[in-house]
Homo-oligomer: A and B are copies of this chain.
């Protein structure tokens, strides 16, 4: 029997259930889980804040495992076209089932907006199988995009920022950071910290992280932020003045929002210089409205704003290769503040919700 942590319904506590070992279809892969992340989305799931979730679910969307079994038939290929074999350590894109045929998949080239996409650990039900990462084994259906970890990338290192890394990689790519740019990151959670690292791997000249609490700002500094601004100890006017002072009065060339707080968005527009770029990647749930001045904050400012949703195969593939290459430079694993087995998955959720940890892992 296989154990998995199950969220039966919103506002219930995580429970551990037993599952039969699945029989593999052709093209499927069974992973023995090494670890799976706990992320902000998981705390939203426990509160029922996402639409279309088929409870009960096994949470856990970004995970790493060892290939335990490969389905019969044609070889199952990784993204590079190489056959996958038992014993390999791999991760996979949590999004599954892009149709490849709809307007967004084909004409629009906006694959993260395909209506058919399902997400492991979020929109796939535990009634259908081991379709989430908080389990001893994960069943990868035919068509799931699988990315092996290079030897030089420890699996814990890869999980240290969890989905925050591909999410931030998408955002920083859209931001078109130019060499020497000043980048302000709003938010110091896994997405924000990943963005602060990736900004440096775009050649930013200066990285400023606005956030809290203290433990996260300390992590930001360890990961190369030149300046941190404590959101709890400053007001908007002070933050604007600090950023302007650090940028010859102009404001940030690029700002990345990773907070989830609506009022952060107009603030971020103001922190950015005229003709700068602003990427909003933290507004993953509906937390209400925000007000701004279209003349001052947008039109006269000649500002570019990108909303940035989801990740595709490329973002995961590129995350793996970036983290492998720069593993010595950035102490990824120090972001992991706690590891929890399945029986303590609820504690992990509680610690994340209370921001007591930077990143929590489930290690079954």
Binding site for B on A (CB under 8 A): 77, 79-82, 98, 100-104, 106-110, 112-113, 143, 145, 169, 172-173, 178-180, 198, 200-206, 226, 248, 250, 262, 265, 273-275, 280-296, 298-310, 312-314, 317-322, 324-326, 329
Partner of A321 from the list B98, B205, B285, B308 (CB cut-off 8 Å) is B205
Given the interface pairs A180-B317, A301-B309, A324-B205, the reply to whether A284 lies near B289 with Cβ below 8 Å is no
CA separation between A188 and B203, bound complex, in Å?
A: 21
A73 to chain B, nearest CB (A): 15
Q: Which residues of B contact A287 (CB under 8 A)?
A: 294-295
Given the interface pairs A145-B106, A180-B317, the reply to whether A304 lies near B302 with Cβ below 8 Å is no
Sample (7) of A-B pairs whose CB atoms are under 8 Å apart: A179-B201, A280-B299, A282-B299, A289-B292, A289-B294, A290-B293, A302-B308
A232 to chain B, nearest CB (A): 21
The DSSP consensus for interface residues of chain A is loop
CA separation between A262 and B295, bound complex, in Å?
A: 8
Counted per complex, copies of this chain come to 4
CA separation between A143 and B80, bound complex, in Å?
A: 23
Q: Which residues of B contact A100 (CB under 8 A)?
A: 98, 100
Given the interface pairs A77-B101, A180-B321, A275-B113, the reply to whether A106 lies near B312 with Cβ below 8 Å is yes
Given the interface pairs A180-B318, A289-B293, the reply to whether A250 lies near B103 with Cβ below 8 Å is yes
A43 to chain B, nearest CB (A): 16
Q: Which residues of B contact A113 (CB under 8 A)?
A: 274-275, 302
A206 to chain B, nearest CB (A): 7
Q: Which residues of B contact A107 (CB under 8 A)?
A: 79, 313-314, 317-318
Partner of A205 from the list B77, B284, B312, B322 (CB cut-off 8 Å) is B322
Is the CB–CB distance between A108 and B275 below 8 Å? yes
Q: Which residues of B contact A101 (CB under 8 A)?
A: 77, 79, 143, 145
Which 8 pairs from chain A and chain B are nearest by CB? A180-B321, A110-B275, A205-B321, A180-B318, A201-B203, A283-B299, A106-B313, A298-B307
Is the CB–CB distance between A180 and B81 below 8 Å? no
CA separation between A30 and B308, bound complex, in Å?
A: 40
CA separation between A314 and B79, bound complex, in Å?
A: 24
Given the interface pairs A101-B77, A108-B275, the reply to whether A179 lies near B291 with Cβ below 8 Å is no
CA separation between A77 and B303, bound complex, in Å?
A: 26
Is the CB–CB distance between B291 and A300 below 8 Å? no
Is the CB–CB distance between A298 and B305 below 8 Å? yes
Is the CB–CB distance between B204 and A325 below 8 Å? yes
A109 to chain B, nearest CB (A): 7
A239 to chain B, nearest CB (A): 18
Given the interface pairs A203-B322, A301-B307, the reply to whether A290 lies near B288 with Cβ below 8 Å is no
Q: Which of A173, A180, A293, A301 has the most CB of B within 10 A?
A: A180
Q: Which residues of B contact A82 (CB under 8 A)?
A: 248
A46 to chain B, nearest CB (A): 19
Residue of B at shortest CB range from A76? B101
CA separation between A316 and B205, bound complex, in Å?
A: 13
